[in-house]
Structure formats: C-alpha cells, structure tokens
Amino acid sequence: MIVCSVSVVHVPILPMSGLSYKDSGVDLDVYNEAMKRLPSLMHRTFSPRVRQLDGGFAGLFQLDFDNRLFRRNYEDPVMVACTDGVGTKLKVAQMAGRSDSVGIDLVAMCVNDAICCGAEPLFFLDYVAMSHDDPVVLEQIVQGISDGCLQSDCALLGGETAIMPDLYQPGDYDLAGFCVGVVERKHLIDGKTIAADDVVIGIASSGIHSNGFSLVRKIVFEAAGKKLSDPFDDQQTFEDVLLQPTLIYAKAIRQVLNYYKVKSVVHGIAHITGGGLAENIERILPAGVQVEINGASWDRPPIFEWLQQNGNVATDEMFRVFNMGIGIALIVSPYYAEVIRRLLDENGLENWLIGTVSAGKKSVAVVNS
C-alpha cells in the first residue's frame, strides 16, 4: 500500500488591482506634471536653426540656415562634442535646498570645454537622475540649464529625466550634460601652433567653479565646522560663495576669435578644471615648448586662501585641485595680446598676463605661488 502525502502551499492573495509603477516608487502622474514645466524653458533657448519637434524622440538642429543672420556658409565644418557633470557640488546644492545654479554649472563645464577648440556651441542635452519625481526641484535644475544655454547662445534641444528610487536616496539627484558645437577646420584650435615667445592670458574665474568640492566640503563642514548659513565675509554666506555658478566664457571667446577671422592669433585655449593650471595647459602644448606661469600675477578670490588656511593644504595641492582664480587660459601671439585683453575687458572679464612660452621640454611650471 502506497501512502501519499499532500503538501498544501499557501499562495498570498494580491489586491485585485495588482501592483502599479507607483508602488515601486515612480509616480507617473507626478512625472507628467514635472514634464509639463520644461518645454517653455527649452523654447526660450531656441534659434531659427532648431527644427521644433515637441513630443518627438530626438531634437533637430539645422547646421546651416538660409537667413542672413544665421547663415554660416561652412566649407569644411568639424563637429565638436563634450560631456561633463557637476561633481559633488551637487551635495552642497542639495544641502542648501537650492538647485538653480548647478544647472548653469552643468552647461558651463561642457561649453567651456567646447570653446577650447574654437567651436561655436550649437546645442545642449541634459540628463537628470533623481530618487523620486520632484517637479519643483526639476524645474529649478532645468531653469539653470536654460539660463546657461542663453549665456552660451546654445539651444537646449532635449534631455532625459530618470527616476530611480533604488539607486538614489530621497532628495539626491545627479546631472550630466552634453554639448555639440562646430568649427571650420581651418579655424580649429588644437594647440599645435603654440610657439616660443607666445604669452598666456588668464581670465578670471568666479571662484571655485565646479571642481574640488570633495575637498571643499571636508574643509568647510568638517575641519572648520561651518554651516552654509554662516557668514563668509560682510556680504556673503558660505552658501553664496560655494554655490557661485561657473562662469561661461563662450560669447567673449567667440568675439575674440571673430575679431581675427583671417589671422590665427589665438594658438591655444585651456579650460582650468580638475588638475589646475599646470595639467590643463600641458594638455594642449605641442612638443618642444614649455610654459612658466607666474602665480603672483593675478588676484585670487578670497575663498582659496580661506580653504588653504582652514584645511592646512599645501600650496602645490591647492594648485593641483583648484583653478585658483583662473577659469580659462589663452595662449596667444604676443603682438595681439593687448587687443585681446581689451576685448575681454569689454565683455566684463577681468584678465591678466600670467605666463610665457619658451623653447624646452613640454611642461608647465607655476612659480611665485
């Protein structure tokens, strides 16, 4: 006789409606509300070169345009593409509950790279990753991106908002940006024409910009025990200083380059980001030339001295991590340096002669720092 044993499996009864996307942390209704806030922020950056395709799967941009104002008559165009983020400066913005300025930073970090090749920025795309939909914060972020694109004469052509509750903690978000530009091949700036006797013009930064914030946060909040609301000086709090947006140099640089449409007088452009003056200028040098930067030749924003003193940071480390008050370095023919400096002055950009180029092993040295 065979005895059969029967196992009874208890299956949980799910609600009749089943699970929804909202149950997993993504509310499509809130997402749609957030998306409705963005088109106007994009449209304000459009020029007639944008082929509007609201609701489409891609953005359209016309490289040339049959209009006297926008016609470029390209002969041999080279496309220039850049991507970047804002780094841990985002943590400061999130602590402050202020997300508009980091959108400008995002555009600046990409556009300022593109102009180093002599490019005209054409359009920008953004990627925003969030823990949960927050229409107000998203609108603040994209408002800043839109403002940065207007400062760059660059169209905000599209973007992506990703809601990922399992990857980000509530209140966290991350940003990435993508810029596409164009330059005529004969006007491409790649550093190959940098030569002995050229000079280096340093253009002022607005402060820390968007690099080194892991060290900044450690000094400000841990070593010095400061709060964002604490005064930095008589006029600014630490929030004001730390969240000062990165300067965008596109319009000023384009004016300089357009002033010399025939002569090639700007031989190299370096965006001073992580790695500081030495590493970023060396990236564009050809073999056989060296650059000496006089570290005492410009005025540094007070935040750098404060960070060095309160963090007991070595001078070499400060120059390796931060821009130290120089956002862009131009390497130019000495004969045209004063005219270029005047053009920068007219654009409201403080600038200094900070270095010289000579024959030697490819290198950059910062002296008198």
| CATH number, residue 224 | 3.90.650.10
Q: Mean pLDDT lowest for which of 40-44, 230-234, 269-273? A: 40-44
Q: 208 with 292, same domain?
A: yes
Q: 153 with 203, same domain?
A: no
Report the domain count for the chain. 2
Q: 260 with 322, same domain?
A: yes
Question: Which DSSP letter does residue 7 get?
Answer: P
> Quick count: other Cβ atoms within 10 Å of Cβ 71?
10
Query: CA-to-CA distance for 130 and 169, rounded, in angstroms?
Result: 9
pLDDT at 56 over 90: no
Q: What is the mean pLDDT of residues 218-229?
A: 98
Look up the CATH number of the domain holding residue 143: 3.30.1330.10
Pick from 86, 157, 85, 87: which is nearest to 121 by CA? Answer: 157
Q: 182 with 206, same domain?
A: no
> Quick count: other Cβ atoms within 10 Å of Cβ 334?
13
Q: Could you give the percent of the chain with pLDDT greater than 90?
A: 76
Question: Which DSSP letter does residue 227 get?
Answer: -
Q: 181 with 208, same domain?
A: no
Q: 133 with 203, same domain?
A: no
pLDDT at res. 19: 73
Residue 7 counted as domain residue: no
- Give residue-wise pLDDT tens across range 154-196: 999 999 999 999 899 998 999 999 999 999 999 999 999 999 9
Q: 212 with 260, same domain?
A: yes
Q: 227 with 171, same domain?
A: no
Q: What are the angstrom distances between the C-alpha of 83 and each of 50, 113, 128, 164, 175?
A: 21, 9, 14, 22, 11
Q: Is 285 left (phi over 0), alpha (psi -120 to 50) or beta?
A: beta
Q: 179 with 280, same domain?
A: no
Q: Is 207 left (phi over 0), alpha (psi -120 to 50) or beta?
A: left
Q: 44 with 174, same domain?
A: yes
Residue 139 counted as domain residue: yes
Q: 266 with 360, same domain?
A: yes
Residue 193 counted as domain residue: no
Pairing of β 266-271 and β 351-359: unpaired
Residue 292's DSSP bridge partners are 356, 365
> Quick count: other Cβ atoms within 10 Å of Cβ 369?
14
- Give residue-wise pLDDT tens across range 117-155: 999 999 999 999 999 889 899 999 999 999 999 999 999
Query: CA-to-CA distance for 160 and 33, rounded, in angstroms?
Result: 15
Residue 2 counted as domain residue: no
Structural domain for 44, as ranges: 24-49+73-187
Please say which residue of 166, 187, 208 terminates a domain: 187
Question: What sign results for the dihedral spanned by CA atoms 108, 114, 115, 120?
Answer: negative
Q: What is the mean pLDDT of residues 31-37?
A: 68
pLDDT at 50 over 80: yes
Residue 228 counted as domain residue: yes
Entry pTM: 0.90
Place 9 in a pLDDT band, splitting at 50, 70 and 90: very low
Query: CA-to-CA distance for 257 and 169, rounded, in angstroms?
Result: 45
Q: 205 with 340, same domain?
A: yes
- Give residue-wise pLDDT tens across range 341-353: 999 999 999 999 9
Residue 223 counted as domain residue: yes
Please say which residue of 159, 187, 215 terminates a domain: 187
pLDDT at 8 over 70: no
Residue 183 counted as domain residue: yes
